A and B are shown apart, each in its own frame.
Chain A
Amino acid sequence: MAMKELKVFDQKLYVITQAIADTIMPSGGAFQTGANDVDAALLFDNYIDQFAKLPLKFVKTALYTIQYAPLFTRLKSFTGMSPQQRLRYLEGWEKSRFATKRNIFLMLKMLILMPFYSNDAVADTIDYHPGCLRED
């Protein structure tokens, strides 16, 4: 179903993005809703549909790099790992002392989570109810 609505990714990139999004924002914990509960991969795809060529290339390259880089060190692609392995692997990106590696992941994380938190159902789960000091 999601495939019909994708604007930027093909099915392969969509699946990789789902796996990354689920690792960044799993279901359960302090609040139930996780990335895959609201199809964050699709929200992300739709959000970046007007990206210029270069940033779009950056996003796709970053996704493929995260997916295939572990083939050289762990003999597994990202989607082939267990949830625990995925978490440790992405924490390696997030806390890397190499600024470029860290920043690539932080940018990707930001782009995935922005549409996620913009979803009304998610906003509700963190008790965020946009409003003003004065409502008159």
Chain B
Amino acid sequence: MLLTYNDINKDVVERPDVCIIGSGAGGAVMADVLSGAGIDVVVMEEGGYYTKERYGTYKPIESLKILYRDYGSTVVLGKTSIILPLGRAIGGTTVVNSGTCFRTPEGVLDEWADTYGVVKASPKDMEPYFERVEKTINVIPVTPQGLGKNGLVFKRGADALGLSNGMLKHNMIDCHGCGRCAFGCPHDAKQAVHLNFIPSAIKKGARFYANAKAETIVLESGRVKHIEGSIINEQTGNRLYGITVSPKLLVLSAGAIYTPYILQKNGIKLSQELGKNLTIHPAARITSFFDEIIEGYKGVPQGSYVDAYSSEGIMLEGIFVPPEIALPVLQPIGIEGKKRAREYNNLAAFGVMVSDKNSSGAVRPGIDSGPLITYRLHPYDLKKLIKGIAVASEIFFAAGAKTVDPGVHGIQEFKSSRDIAQLFTRHLRTTDFEMMAFHPLGTARMGELAGHTVVDSFGKAHGTENLFISDGSVFPTSLGVNPQITIMSFSMRNAEYIIDNRKRFLT
């Protein structure tokens, strides 16, 4: 059963075995696995329920308004402001992410075991979960035909320079290459969790409440007693009814920003590490103009990668966005700026993501109705970003670009590869870079070192009897790659742990 605010006409009271807050990569998988074992599950999701019949017709800026939090512009404060888009819908960020799939790098799993004492999460332990998740969401490589010209010109440049590159894997079936992964796939080719894990969980009896905002968690003597929230009218934002859920066990899957926030807001500290150690996988965009027509909006925007420097924590991955998102950023003001806009069809773009091993941030209750997110980019990670921008610029010139814009304040667009040296010879500060971030992790990290972690190796919160966390917040370090497969696989593993210990947790 899936109910939205339209289906509800009185206060809701539920007494399930398990309540899950959040229906994204973590919550959807948890709901499916638990309900498959005969466990009674209720899921509360603040966002609405949308299908391709709705989001397939949205313009990109409408998708930002409807499918994302804060119009897709959640701000991370620091020396420079970083935009961190977060999805808010049944299916969570999987509805609006790029669809890129990576398994957790083996070195990362090893580090979690060695440094944080995470148990039973070795590459061998995780293999069956990766396989099951990938099968369910149909993970396959993007084909060169599906890449589109934006990806192809970058590949041409990387090949010319002899840099290792390839096609990314995506969760998709019969992709038409519409370039709209981040705004809701109009053909539902992208296999977000509202197309697989959630319908499967519903078939097994799970009850999903869309537009159900969890507000209060009542925890007494280490036990969650109940969760109180509101059914929200998604058109007006007004509260319609109350919802009270009294579960035997609560799973928080609201993501690395909202999971710590809802706990902090309710005075539930769990550990001094809660809300700290935020990593966001900072990214920069590099754009260039070609004589040839690119029409970069046709094809899979994030279809290919260059991993020649991945051992240094630098990944280059495709990006491309429609003009209403790209041009407001790229175009200078005035008549001169309009020339740039007119060349939109000749525009190519690629992204640089750096593994933030040294940087970190925090989530705290803010002064308004949401969290205050802060982040400090370490100079070492900034150096990686600069190197990534330089490499991407070289690749564009090798592919035949006329000009390259590194997206750095105070540096004019490059006219030739000789200009790239400015990135290293000029004194550049963090504030000079336009950055975005897409993968918040780490604010409730897992492990067996109680003083340094918030939850144990299976997501059970230290010092509580019936509270689990199962989302990106539990990962102790940056993955260096897109996290959806990792989140889903760990959630599947944690669900099985709960099932294996159901006498302990569910009686």
Contacts and interface: CB of A to CB of B under 8 A. Distances in A.
Chain A residues touching B, majority SS: helix
Interface string B342-359: 101100000000000000
Nearest to B295: A131
* Residue from A54, A113, A133 with most neighbouring chain B CB atoms (10 Å): A133
A47 B178 CA distance: 24
Given A52-B369, A131-B298, A97 B333 contact: no
Given A30-B341, A31-B342, A55-B70, A110 B61 contact: no
B81 A113 contact: no
B324 A115 contact: yes
Given A30-B338, A31-B338, A50-B65, A134 B369 contact: no
Nearest to B186: A132
Interface string A57-70: 00000000000000
Interface string A62-89: 0000000000000000000000000100
B409 interface: yes
B435 to A, nearest CB: 11
B299 interface: yes
Contacts of A116: 324
B257 to A, nearest CB: 15
Contact of A113 (B70, B145, B328, B345): B328
A52 B70 contact: yes
A22 B299 CA distance: 34
A44 B98 CA distance: 27
B333 A31 contact: no
A128 B345 contact: yes
Given A55-B70, A115-B61, A132 B176 contact: yes
Contact of B342 (A97, A117, A126): A126
B332 to A, nearest CB: 7
Interface in A120-136: 123, 126-128, 130-136
B323 interface: yes
A114 B61 contact: yes
B173 to A, nearest CB: 13
A134 B341 contact: no
B333 A133 contact: no
Interface residues of A, number: 46
A15 interface: no
Nearest to A98: B431
B153 to A, nearest CB: 15
B331 interface: yes
Contacts of B176: 132-136
Contacts of B324: 113-118
B297 interface: yes
A126 B324 CA distance: 11
A99 B298 contact: no
B237 A87 contact: no
A30 B61 contact: no
A87 B70 contact: no
A58 B323 CA distance: 25
Contact of A126 (B145, B334, B341): B341
A26 to B, nearest CB: 6
Given A110-B329, A113-B328, A31 B341 contact: yes
Interface of A: 23-26, 28-31, 47-48, 50-55, 87, 90-91, 94, 97, 99, 102-103, 106, 109-118, 123, 126-128, 130-136
Given A23-B334, A117-B323, 17 more contacts: A28-B335, A29-B338, A29-B339, A50-B237, A91-B333, A91-B334, A94-B332, A94-B333, A103-B80, A113-B324, A113-B331, A114-B61, A117-B341, A126-B327, A132-B298, A133-B146, A134-B177
Interface of B: 59-61, 65, 70-71, 73, 79-81, 145-146, 148, 176-179, 237, 297-299, 322-325, 327-329, 331-339, 341-342, 344-345, 367-370, 409-410, 431-432
For the complex of A and B, list the 8 residue pairs with the smallest distance between their C-beta atoms, beginning with the closest: A133-B177, A113-B328, A99-B431, A117-B324, A132-B178, A29-B335, A30-B342, A54-B368
